Structure 1
Amino acid sequence: MAAAAVLDNIHNSIRTLAQTKRIRVTEFFQDFDKLRSGFITVPQFFRCLWQTLGIKLSPDEENALIAKYDLKRSGQVNYKRFCNEIDQNFNPFDLVRDPTSQTITAPEFLGTVRSVRPLSPTSEARLIQLLQRMQQFYQYHGINLRTCYEDFDRHHMSVVTESQFYRSFPGPPDVNEADMHLLVMKYRDPDRPGLLNYLNLHHDIVAIGQQTAQDKELVFIGERNVDHIPPACTEDPALNQIFDKIRVAVFKNGVRTTEFFKDHDKLRSGIITENQFVCGLALAVGKEAQLSRAEIQKVVEYYRQPDGRVKYKEFCDMMENAFNIPDLEKKPLQDVVRPVKGALHRSLRGLSDSEEARIQEVLHEISDQVRRRRLMMYPYFKDYDRSTAYTRVVTKMQFARILHFLSLNVAPEDLKLVCAKFEDPASGDVNYPAFVQAVDQEFVGHTMDDADLRDKGRTNVNAPERPVSISDSNVSYEDLMARIRNIVLTKRLRVAEFFEDYDPLRSGSISCGQFQRGLGLLGLSKLGDHNLTDAQMKILCDVYQNKQKPDQVHWKQFVYDVETVFTQPNLEKVPTHEVPPSEIFRVPKPGTAMWENASEDHKQLHEATMERLHQRASQRRVLAKPVFQDFDRHNNGHVTKAQFRQCLTMLELHATEAEMIALEAKFCNDVGFNYIAFLQELQPQEPPKFMYEKRLENLRATNSRKRLPDMNPETDLEGLLLKIQTKVSRERIRVLEFMRDYDKLRSGRMLKTSFRRALDLCRFELKESEVCLLEDRYQSAKDNDYVDYLKFCDEIESIFTTKELEKAPLQDVVQFKPPEEWTLNKLDEESRQKFTDCMKRIAEKVRKHQMQLFPLFEDYDRVHNGTVSRSQFRRVLTELELSSLVSQQEFELLWKQFDVKIGGKDDVNYIAFCEMIYDLAKFEWRKP
């Protein structure tokens, strides 16, 4: 027993020092244990205690520790077991005892153990009162006692001298000499005379503050019996009604009540004057809650203190949490206070009996017009409601303007009654949803009266839950799988991707909850394409249940059954297997009527109606689809029944009620009215023909045709080179720049295909035969597939200069002058004689009359290139009265002689013609 007591004292002292110094003892022992075996030698063990904690144990204490932790009896200490004893954390493998009972909290040397010098009971009680006063003073002024003495404690030993303690004592001012002496006697260090442990005093003050806050919280919880501020409930019914009005106004308008009071409370004490509270309450919800001066005064009286001030913080806390509980996620079992059913609805204003009778007549007349004209009134009102959020009110001027726009003419006196009936008490505007519901039977809205009628006979007792069975489902397994296959086929979904994340081991089995979540991601939920009920989920879980694990599902088998809509697996093993077409897996929308089972009368009525509507739509050339698409906001091909009837009215395709019912029975389903199928039957369109094969045949036929022969190609090489040199000279083309990019190694040769490509880039516009002449002329002697392009470039660019002219300085360089194109035109001898005679006749008349030929030609030469068309050339000669001298054959000779190619078109060079005429007429140069 004596050894056990010694060990407990050692453990407690070491545990206290470790917690005081905030150190982990294990980390210091591990430095001696390189192999992490959990054992170190005895000298290392005691050296670590002395260096880390500054503990020097006696021989008896050392022997007691060695006897307890030297398990191997080999001179090595099990330091891990020692550290676990010091830390005293709970054992995670001990599931019998409570973890809090297993943990030992070590008292700090300068912390919770304060009885260093015990005093008498009277002195202790007086000391506690003194510490409470000091704690309140320090908390109010934000004083930290520890920082007041740290400047004197240079070595951070948590002690100061007695004179230093007196000198830096921060107060409060009402502490006298006897109180100071009591503090000195209490916190004098027993081991070091003349020194006071100020850290013990600091910790005591902090502990008293924490205890005070905890006592206040317990008192608050004891008074309220809940952990939030509930709505106030007083004995005065009138005051309760006022609080209810304020709560509803705060909740509906989103008012932050604290913002209207805290500016008056500079110290954040939670208390303000009566006038400040009245002003803040009136500004916050005075208008929204319709509070009178007397009602505000009642609230003031309820929260007034004896000194005349008002506790606004308690009022704001109640209003901020009117229908909510703060930090509700931390209190899952807390009952939330719900508002009374209908309390948040905007109630309608009560009128006198005569006014109520008149308002009913007015509303009945408006309702008849709305029903007869099938008006949708709510969107027109909603367009005017464009504030930060939908306020569900419009001004009276806007209300009257909308009624006039809809041609719902109401007398001025009746309009005042309607505005008074549906007036919002807070803003004075008109509550248009309530008005629309009163006159439109198809509009779904909320009013307090309807809510009260629906709630009659309803109790707050929940219906008893019963287990879900397969019999609860109205859909069989085959129909359900057909619906799932249709969704997967339509949206081209990869089903396995929605389940394999839940099966990291790829076992093919997941839990029922994970299976249901995967189906929800697949689109089988209330937000998806099909609402999978609990009974339908039960069917799938039972069919694909894992026999070894009844709470799990074979998801891979489900994926296999669903994805067979695309193809059959392992087709490479059965090449002759015929895969069924995917169209057989498509099913109609849920709720679609089985038209085959309809009666003959019903079918005849439907066919007669569709035939009549088809004829009318064809005669009037109606474009019906855009009208339906305006109502189809989700682009799913469906509209509501009311929208379908409204569309037919807009298209002037009228039908009786029986015919409407027949159409709705044929084309309606659970989603709505399928207007796509209706329009396909009303205005059938031929499907586009598959033209791919036909276009492919045309393309092949086009490619198989022989190329057309070249038009007017150059047959000799000299003429071809002259043509190229002329173009290069006129357009100043550097042919080598286009060629060298295809010769990366600068070998002077290039492929014939690259040579053709380079000629195209030069825009020489050569014919096929002309390119072949060049390839044959400059073909490489080493390889027949290559062309010596450098020789070609040198011969072309010789028109500018002679290559290597520096080696022949005496050589005369003759500049190349490209011949005019018309000079290359050659006539035979007979044609040449006729051409000469014609030109002489024209020149003789021009000489006699001194005519000027250029001005008329220039009027037709808009781009100033010296050419005109053949028709323009003949027109000018006619205007000059020279055409009578020229026959048709001679015109053709003139055109042929002065012909030039401009953009592939044959034009006439009128400049050469005019100069030749002037030369034959013996005119001076450029005269007349």
Structure 2
Amino acid sequence: MVGEVLVYKPTFLTTSCLEKMAATAALENFHNSIRTLAQTKRIRVTEFFQDFDKLRSGFVTVPQFSRCLWQTLGIQLTPEQEEIVRRNYDIKGNGQFINYKLFCDEIDQNFNAKDLNRNPESQRIEPPEFLGTIRTVRPLSPGAERRLVQLLRHIEQFYSYHGVNLRTCYEDFDRHHMGVVTESQFYRSFPGPPDVSEADMNLLVQKYRDPDRPGLLNYLNLHHDIVAIGNQVAKEKELIESPSTYVDITSVMLTPDPDLNTIFDKIRVAVFKNGIRTTEFFKDHDKLRSGIITENQFVCGLALAAGKEAQLSRAEIQKVVEYYRQPDGRVKYKEFCDIMENAFTIPDLEKKPLQNVTRPVRGALSRGLKPLTETQESRLEEILSQISDNVRRRRLMMYPYFKDYDRGIAYTRVVTPTQFGRILHFLSLNVAPEDLKLLLQKFEDPATGDVNYPAFVQAVDKEFVGHTMDDADLSQKGRTNTPVKERETTAADSNVSYEDLMARIRSIVLTNRLRVAEYFEDYDPLRSGSISKSQFRRGMSLLGFSKLGQHDFSEGHYKLLCDVYQNPQKHDQVLWTKFLWDVETVFTQPNLEKDPDTKVPPQEIFRVPKPGTVDWGYASTDHKDLFNATMDRLQQRSEQRRVLAKPVFQDFDKHNNGHVTKSQFRQCLTMLELHCTEPEMIALEAKFCNDTGFNYLTFLSELQPVEPPQFMYVSRLEDIRTANQRKTLPELNAAKDLENVLLKIKTKVARERIRVLEFMRDYDKLRSGRMLKTSFRRALDLCRFELRQSEMSILEDRYQSNTDPEYVEYLKFCDECESIFTSKELEKRPLEDVVQFKPPEEWERNKLPTDQLTRFKACMDRLSEKVRKHQMQLFPLFEDYDRVHNGTVSRSQFRRVLTELELGSLVSQQDFELLWQQFDVKIGGKDDVNYIAFCDMIYKLANFEARKP
């Protein structure tokens, strides 16, 4: 029995383990399939289950669970899957309710907030596939897998360099956005790289073929694999470039070969001095930015970059090539450029403040002189001694002559050989041609071939001191590097008192209208009213109170303010709000709303003169008398000559601050021919000078005072009140009855085609058909009827509302105005004849008195008789005066035309007045004569045809 137990017990355990493993695998496959579909459709399964769980209990019934999966994901559970769900999520054990909350957490893979020992990112499970597909059921061989990874890396590098997106290349073929295309479409739109062979394409097709749908390839999985490889490459690059993996440049530069170190030092100095960007000479050969180029490309790039500047020979360049050469024969130029670009510095030095930076060797960055042979050196000494004796005897200053030819940016301190010989000839320092060649050979720059003229001047002129390394020895001049301990600044070091300092600050704030609170409140986020002393100083600097600001503030001034406004509880802080209220009293008083009777002092009392201004009250009597006499004399001369002095001073005031220097002030007076003696000039400068300069604006205000403009607001306001109190003027030509008023309105409407209703309806929002009388008058003014007050009153009385006396029935008035065009509701009276309103001529409405009609007819008969006898043309002369062709002329023009036609003798003055009165028309408020009506009446009386005398 024991043996049987020993034999059968392992068999029983193995079967149970296999069953558990199979159940776990089935559950995991079930989860993966649902998780893939949920991510494909971008669905949160929890939101759909909650519609069945109103009480948020976390449980739904079995049919509800199946229905939700069918509606959201399109999954119909098989009996095996239903059994898996009941076995794992039927927490209650009754077979009716499923814990969907636990199921959704497993699908979404949200991290457990209570499990603090694990990283939340490690708890999430990302499905390896997309769109519910798999690549292939046949795994590739290990060699093919390695080849595939290399191919994907190569494709990712090509795509990232050229900005290619594989997904967009195939989206036009994937009309249903399923992530699959046919094999022919895959071959047709494959975006490269061009060096991918046919075998590589077959490998991609085998890897990403869809086993469920023959002939289709899943390009979306290929796209995501390329993106994943790109992220992995970026992480690897970040690890390589991280500060933890940084290798000190000095350790890299210390190669075993001392000659190679010398070459590197020469290149680094040349790169540092000339500001060479070495990468620019190599990256054009590296299209893929791999950091590797061929040997010939590296040699050409290095020769172009620093071959001439570093004086590199072919053998030295070859040594550098051999140091960076790879086994395949190519050269790693990126490592070389990284070392050269960071010459005498360290990359990301702000992240490594304790790192020691290598410095160039003393004298390495200076221009050295080229060594010569002993014979040449001895000859050179003789030449330089001769030139030096000549320079010393003639006391020549040679450096300015050379500097005039040095027009480079920031002075390159070199000139060309031709310029060097020309300058020596100009200074009469004639040198033989062979000696000149020797000088050029000694002092030329090896890189550019130009001549180092400061070194030559220092060699021949012992009094000239150039910038050489020999002068950098500070110990020879008694200087040491031992720091001198400075005395701590206190408030006593301030040369002004607290009252004077605050008066100066208030004046500056008032003049420039500064908002002091805006410069301090950002340092006090809790609005405690207290900030540190350093923050207070920073805010004052932003206001302009600093050595570099607009207003000079010393350390003693800051100490004085910090001592006055120091926080009693925190000695390292300042009560900036108290300082704020003390300064802003120049604008208003605090808490003024609580005491409205408080008299606010005028702002002028806070203005103080600029620093350095002399208090004229303490000046002596003789000084004041001299100043007054000088100003009186200058005023008389400027008034006699009518001098405009301000533009002359403004030409010297480049900063527009109202100040010039003393010398400029004297120059301006000379230009204005306002001459003064030296004592008078000193008196003027003492009065108007300060630390900024001479205040010419104050000087001009006393020299040529300008009368201040009078404050006319009160007087103008009184004039307006007086004008409003006057009685209204009598109305001219006002209609007396309703008929004439309506005729005037209808005539205006007919001639100008005015829609009266459009102006009225805007004041009747409810469309009630009535409006206020004030609104009615306003609408009539908008219509431009030019009605008098009495005429408007007649209309208001006629159309007054029966229900409310303050309103007017404007619709009736509009209907009356529209009746000149047609009758209202004409469709109900089809047989009615409509007579259109014809506006009467204005002159026809003129009525002469009865006793004057006989005289008017007699005058017209006399005129018509003479026109008939002589067959006169009246229109041409009248039209010559009618420039705007409106059919009217003025009364004087009317009389002039009759006189020219020899008709004026037939008309007396009384007859003229009758003619003017009969044919009078109003044009722009002026009485004119309608000559067309006059001519027509004359022609009619003379029995002529119309317009044909």
Q: TM-score, normalised to structure 1's length?
A: 0.60
Q: 1:306 to 1:859 in 2, by over 3 A?
A: closer
| Aligned partners of 1:868 and 1:907 also within 8 Å | yes
What SS does structure 2 have at the residue aligned with 1:559?
helix
Moved more, 231-240 or 786-795: 231-240
- Which of 683, 698, 708 pairs up with 2:704? 683
Shift of 1:678: 3.6
Specify the code of the residue in structure 2 equivalent to 1:703: N
Letter in 2 for 1:537: Y
Structure 2 CA distance, aligned partners of 1:905 and 1:513?
Answer: 80
SS in 2 for 1:755: helix
Partners of 2:470 and 2:666 in 1: CA distance: 30
Q: How does 1:627-776 map to 2 (within 5 A)?
A: 628-629=649-650, 632=653, 634-639=655-660, 665-776=686-797
- How far 1:649 moved relative to its partner? 6.9
| SS of residue in 1 equivalent to 2:749 | helix
- Which residue matches 1:328? 349
* Structure 1 CA distance for aligned equivalents of residues 316 and 636 of structure 2: 74
Q: What is the SS of the residue equivalent to 1:770?
A: helix
Q: 1:586-621 deviations in whole A, cap 9, x for unaligned? A: 222233344445566766666666566655655555
Name the residue aligned to 2:541: 520
Alpha-carbon offset, residue 850 of structure 1: 0.8
In structure 2, relative to structure 1, the CA distance for the partners of 1:245 and 1:338 (3 Å cut) is closer
Quote the sequence identity (%).
65
Distance 1:733 1:307 in 2: 95
Counterpart residue number, 1:557: 578
CA contact (8 A) 1:274 1:300 kept: no
Is 1:788 the counterpart of 2:841 in the alignment? no
Distance verdict in 2 for CA 1:601–1:922, change over 3 Å:
same
1:896 is the counterpart of 2:917: yes
Question: What's the offset of the Cα at 1:476?
Answer: 2.6
User: Aligned equivalents of 1:219 and 1:581: distance in 2?
Assistant: 67
Structure 1: distance between partners of 2:923 and 2:750: 17
Residue in structure 1 matching 2:270, options 246, 255, 270: 246
Q: Is the 8 A contact 2:269 2:365 kept in 1?
A: no
Q: Aligned partners of 2:784, 2:832: CA distance in 1, in Å?
A: 33
Q: Mark the CA change 1:679 to 1:515 in structure 2 (over 3 Å): closer, same or farther.
A: same
| In structure 1, C-alpha distance between the alignment counterparts of 2:545 and 2:567, rounded to whole Å | 22
1:842 aligns with 2:856: no
- Find the residue that maps to 2:921 and give its secondary structure: strand
Cα distance change, pair 311–665 in 1 and its aligned pair in 2 (3 A) = farther
Question: How far 1:833 moved relative to its partner?
Answer: 1.9
Which range moves more in the overlay, 902-911 or 685-694? 685-694
Structure 2: distance between partners of 1:695 and 1:416 = 85
d(CA) in 2 for partners of 1:556, 1:245: 56
2:574 aligned counterpart, secondary structure? strand
Q: Which residue of 1 aligns with 2:798?
A: 777
Distance 1:613 1:232 in 2: 86
Matched, 1:825 2:846: yes
User: 1:917 maps to which residue?
Assistant: 938
Contact conserved, 1:502 with 1:510, CA < 8 A, in 2? yes
Closer, same or farther: CA 276–772 of 1 in aligned 2, 3 Å: same
1:264 CA drift (Å)? 5.7
1:154-196 Cα distance to aligned partner (Å, 9 max, x none): xxxxxxxxxxxxxxxxxxxxxxxxxxxxxxxxxxxxxxxxxxx
Report how many residues are paired. 681
Distance 1:213 1:768, change over 3 A: closer
Tell me, yes or no, if the aligned pair for 2:321 and 2:331 is still in contact at 8 Å: yes
How far apart, in 2, do the equivalents of 1:855 and 1:530 lie? 82
Partners of 2:336 and 2:678 in 1: CA distance: 60
Q: Which amino acid aligns with 2:270?
A: I
Partner of 1:224: 250
Deviations 1:801-828 (A, max 9, x none): 3444455555554433322111111112
CA contact (8 A) 1:613 1:682 kept: yes
Q: Which of 457, 475, 498 is the equivalent residue of 1:477?
A: 498
Deviations 1:656-675 (A, max 9, x none): 88776665554444444434
Alignment of 1:329-408 (within 5 A): 329-334=350-355
Q: 2:68 — aligned with what?
A: none
Using the TM superposition, give the Cα deviation of residue 900 of structure 1 relative to its aligned residue in structure 2, in angstroms.
0.8
Kindly provide the CA deviation profile for residues 480-508 of structure 1, in whole angstroms up to 9, marking residues without a partner as x. Answer: 22222222322334434443443444443
> C-alpha separation between the residues in 1 aligned to 2:837 and 2:760?
23
Q: Distance in 1 between matches of 2:515 and 2:706?
A: 34
Summarize the Cα distance change of 1:240–1:741 in structure 2 as closer, same or farther, 3 Å threshold: closer
Aligned residue in 2 for 1:876:
897
Cα deviation, residue 83, structure 1: 7.5
The Cα of 1:395 is off from its aligned counterpart by 15
Alpha-carbon spacing, 1:508–1:334, altered in 2? closer, same or farther (3 Å)? same
CA apart distance, 1:583: 1.9
Q: CA RMSD in A?
A: 5.8
Q: Residue 286 and residue 301 in structure 1: after superposition, are their counterparts in 2 closer, same or farther (change >3 A)?
A: closer
Counterpart of 2:560 (choices 539, 562, 567) is: 539
Amino acid at match of 2:899: T
Measure the CA separation in 2 of the matches of 1:303 and 1:658. 78
> Structure 2 vs 1, CA of residues 508 and 728 (structure 1 numbering), >3 Å: closer, same or farther?
closer
Kindly provide the amino acid, as one letter, of the partner of residue 347 in structure 2: P
Per-residue deviation, 1:720 = 1.8
State the shift of 1:631 in Å.
5.6
For residues 872 and 306 of structure 1, the distance between their equivalents in structure 2, rounded to whole angstroms, comes to 111
Task: State the AA in 2 paired with 1:250.
Answer: N
Is this contact kept in 2: 1:261–1:312, CA < 8 A? Answer: yes
Cα 1:641–1:874, aligned 2, differ >3 Å: closer, same or farther? same
| TM superposition shift of 1:562 | 2.1
Judging changes above 3 Å, is the alpha-carbon distance between structure 1 residues 653 and 311 closer, same or farther for their aligned structure 2 residues? farther
Q: Is the 8 A contact 1:541 1:553 kept in 2?
A: yes
Amino acid at match of 2:897: V
Relative distance call for 1:239 and 1:744 in structure 2 (3 A) is closer
1:661 & 1:901 partners in 2: Cα distance? 76
Q: Corresponding residue for 1:257?
A: 278
Query: Is the contact made by 1:300 and 1:310 (CA closer than 8 Å) also made in structure 2?
Result: no
Question: 1-side partners of 2:240 and 2:730: how far apart?
Answer: 107
Q: Distance in 2 between matches of 1:606 and 1:240?
A: 75
- Answer whether contact 2:757 2:814 (CA < 8 A) is retained: yes
CA distance change for structure 1 residues 927 and 236 in 2, over 3 Å: closer, same or farther? Answer: closer
Q: 2:523 aligns with which of 502, 509, 513?
A: 502
Q: Secondary structure of the equivalent of 1:706?
A: coil
Q: Is the 8 A contact 1:749 1:787 kept in 2?
A: yes
Cα distance in structure 1, aligned partners of 2:619 and 2:785: 77
Aligned in 2, Cα 1:300/1:653: closer, same or farther, shift over 3 Å? farther
Which residue of 810, 815, 821 maps to 1:800?
821
Aligned-pair distance for 1:533?
3.1
1:562 is paired with a residue of what secondary structure?
helix
Indicate how the Cα distance of structure 1 residues 551 and 917 shifts in structure 2: closer, same or farther if over 3 A, else same: same
The gaps in structure 2 that reach 5 residues or longer are 1-111, 120-145, 157-232, 369-382, 431-439, 453-464
CA contact (8 A) 1:345 1:447 kept: no
Q: CA deviation at 1:766?
A: 0.7
Deviation at 1:837, TM superposition (A): 1.5
Q: Which amino acid aligns with 1:705?
A: R
Q: Which residue of 1 aligns with 2:187?
A: none
CA, structure 1 residues 677+876, in 2 after alignment: closer, same or farther (shift >3 Å)? same
Say if 1:262 and 1:769 are closer, same or farther in 2 by CA, change over 3 A.
closer
Alpha-carbon distance between aligned partners in 1 of 2:743 and 2:710, rounded to the nearest angstrom = 55
Q: Distance in 1 between matches of 2:484 and 2:594?
A: 57
Question: Which runs of structure 2 are paired with 1:110-149 in the superposition (5 Å)?
Answer: none
Distance 1:649 1:231 in 2: 74
Structure 1 portions without partners, runs of 5+:
1-79, 89-136, 148-205, 368-376, 401-409, 432-445
Q: 1:906 aligns with which of 921, 927, 931?
A: 927
Counterpart CA distance in 2 for 1:622 and 1:787 is 69
